[in-house]
Amino acid sequence: MTAMSSTGVTPNRRAVGWNVQFTIGRSMKPRAFAGIYQVPDSDLVTFRDVCDELRLCFEFPNDLSREDNRDNSYSDNPWASITFALTDPPDLADSGVRGLSFVTGDLLDRPVPSLQPITSKEQNVIKYHIVLHNTCNLSRNSPLDTHLKEGCARHLSSPIRRHDPRYLPTDGIPSNPNLSILDNSGDTESDDTFVPKDMEKDAAKRRVDYFRSSCLDNADHCAVTGLGKPWCTGLLIGPAIHACHIVPPTHYYLYPSGEDDSGDVTTADNSPRRLLLAWHNTWDPKNGILLKQDLHECFNTRLFSIHPHTLRVRVFVPYDVLTPFNGKKASVPSSTDWRALQHHYEMCCIENMAAKRPAALTVPPPVSRGKEAEVGLWKGENGCNRMQLDLDGTQTDLKTSPQYKTDVLDSYITPSNYREFLADVNWELGRFKARQRRI
């Protein structure tokens, strides 16, 4: 029997698991554009959390249309001003939905209600319609139509999927041209490992081999179940316990290496220095937790995550292997990088909430390796050649230098490395600015 692969969990199958759906727009019967799975009777996800996740996944064309924002009240953060109006209310007096038919103001801090499923494969769905709302004197139990007629509520235009440069599907292949593949033949837990193109391969293999043993120095059991402790001194860890990457090794260049505590990934994608630091961070034990084999696969498939601050487990789909752990506090080593956990958590939010509107992936063009004549650096007798400025102020044509016949020294700026050099400069400047802001 073949194990479930990430490709088996399609966006549509994620959306089938929604038991709370969100609609928007002026249509009489709008279709859900987003949704979440809230384990029944759970208090884990609040309406305010939903606002934050909607902001993470979607944006309005040109912020808000002129008609939506005619009084300029919501230009900075429209998602912070939304209200949730219950539609098709369930006929259940004790369902937990009572008092949450028009959610605004302090009610946003209440947990999102959810119902027990109809069957194991059919959710009992609660639907909320999203509108903009100004403070009014109407009862919170007043229907949405009353708020619309009074003018205190107004419809919103349908949002579009927000482009997040950090996002890559679970089975996405890195498109960064500065990546290469390290042959991991014989490794039973991972496929080929991507590394920076100029990294020394033997050093990379040693780092990869060191990752699992270093994770075992910090924990001896599964972070979610608490199981897997060895039963004798000859074992470091029980069988079927894996050292799991939080940020996947194939996505290493997305590792959050910002110094402003925001967890953001720098946009200097071609910086060799940043790529090398990101790779080392990815294979550092701070990016690792121990998980049972089945949970490792679910974690990689973004079916559950661990909140970076509360460390509570959140399950994103109604999968009975996972739901018993929803809301449980994970046993995560104190050395774990919270930025890595935040990255995984937010990618899970995007993967599942925006499942009905998958991102259109675009592959950036490879770094140019054009002819020297296409790059005007210094003008020599033979055209635009690579030139070295000596200490005495004279210029040396590198084509006539001994080094050129073998290899140009890394210290030279050439048509083949100037993009990476400038990317390194931009990245270092970004780090300097971040440090200055903290002073």
Sign of the torsion formed by the C-alpha atoms of 170, 173, 177 and 178: positive
User: Alpha-carbon distance 366 to 175, whole Å?
Assistant: 8
Q: Measuring CA to CA, which residue among 431, 416, 424, 413 is closest to residue 275? A: 424
Band (pLDDT 50/70/90 cuts) for residue 377 is very low
Pairing of the two strands 34-36 and 153-155: unpaired
| SS3 annotation, 336-389 | CCHHHHHHHHHHHHHHHHCCCCCCCCCCCCCCCCCCHHHCCCEEECCEEECEEE
User: How many residues are given for the chain?
Assistant: 439
- Read off the DSSP letter of residue 282: H
Whether residue 372 has pLDDT greater than 80: no
What average pLDDT does the segment 27-35 reach? 92
Whether residue 353 has pLDDT greater than 80: yes
Q: For position 270, what pLDDT does the model report?
A: 66
User: Alpha-carbon distance 291 to 295, whole Å?
Assistant: 6
- What Rg, from alpha-carbon coordinates, does the chain have? 26
100: helix, strand or coil: coil
Whether residue 400 has pLDDT greater than 90: no
Entry pTM: 0.79
User: Alpha-carbon distance 35 to 126, whole Å?
Assistant: 10
User: Alpha-carbon distance 282 to 253, whole Å?
Assistant: 9
Residue-wise pLDDT tens digits, 177-210 = 667 776 655 444 445 678 887 788 888 888 888 8
Across 277-291, 376-390, 407-421, the highest mean pLDDT is recorded for 277-291
